[in-house]
Structure 1
């Protein structure tokens, strides 16, 4: 019997489109500050993979008071936000079910804070598929450093180079490359327009990802 590799997924931009939720929360912060600053939802996508502090600073613009304090407020508001299943990218829900039924173990490796990762997975019904969830933590450096990914691999008693990483951005590719892991790139996420990984497999639908992993 062939042992199936661990599938390590990024979360935002890979499984869940969090752009609209982030923009809505930031718009509410602007309204509370009586700011006339506007956030364009489409233009905001480019900031979704750059880290919370940079996203908040850039999108709040002149209404940003202090990036660290504003990020804390943003995350507190996010904790009260319910993530709809409708924010799942097409094919994700059924595709993960197929992979689970095929016997794959799956994990999450995300820069999103741990508690928010767990909440989003619970809200969207995806939590059942992931035995290991490693999100942003104070004692671990964010991707593209390998701390979070090393934590995932350690939980499964795996070494670097084992498993497969699935993500949507340059950061995901960088961490997979640093860990010597095969990389599958999903084109609908938050990478810079036109970017493609120098090595790895590119997918334009979740269905093709599932097919490739199942071969």
Structure 2
């Protein structure tokens, strides 16, 4: 079956504000206040919890160590899990585009570096979990993107065939994952990098989800 696999953060949904809020809760607990900015630091948010904590500590505590990041990481995850959909919204047209792919006979799934339980919870809260035939998160198969194994697992779990699939994402990690798996990548221009993803030379760019059906037919028929 022809298959389209989606990244989650920055691709299906703008999760940056809730991610930043969780990191700032850690810094408030340490007495530093809100260290990260939900707009200016959105790109770092999409790189994950450790990246946000590292950036924050670099601003308030020169010479910090990895141990301090790791101490706060589970706290960040707990706060994020509790407030996972306070500000997060699907990008315009995302749900409708996925539904259209399903109607046209494509399998669809998710491959994300977000912990699987959090990704599952978020998509459930957003009302779209049932649209996806697979859900592969960080370490579900022991490794994370850009290793191709999670992507391959997402395709297979959705009932698809690798050679007739592609990845929709928003970062260099997604581009590298697709390349490692030997499949095309489509990078969105409404994610944190905007038009900057052009430098990664993906097989296609997605400026709005209403273009996805056409791009899918062009890439895998």
TM-score range, shorter chain: 0.7 to 0.9
The 5 A counterparts of 1:9-48 are 9-36=6-33, 38-48=35-45
Mapped to 2, the partners of 1:53 and 1:138 lie a distance apart of: 18
RMSD: 2.4
Worse-superposed segment, 164-173 or 60-69: 60-69
Say if 1:26 and 1:74, in contact at 8 Å, map to a contact too: yes
Matches of 2:123 and 2:10, distance apart in 1: 14
Select which of 203, 206, 211 maps to 1:208: 211
* Helix, strand or coil at the partner of 1:43: coil
Question: Judging changes above 3 Å, is the alpha-carbon distance between structure 1 residues 39 and 181 closer, same or farther for their aligned structure 2 residues?
Answer: same
Q: Is the 8 A contact 1:49 1:191 kept in 2?
A: no
Count matched residues: 212
1:1-215 to structure 2, matched below 5 A, reads 5-36=2-33, 38-61=35-58, 62=60, 66-83=68-85, 87-137=89-139, 140-156=142-158, 160-191=162-193, 194-196=196-198, 197-214=200-217
Q: TM-score, normalised by structure 2?
A: 0.85
- Name whichever of 24-33 and 166-175 sits farther off: 24-33
Q: Which runs of 5+ in 2 are unaligned?
A: none
In the TM superposition, structure 1's runs of 4+ consecutive aligned residues that sit over 6 Å from their partners are: none
CA–CA distance in 1 between the matches of 2:30 and 2:195? 32
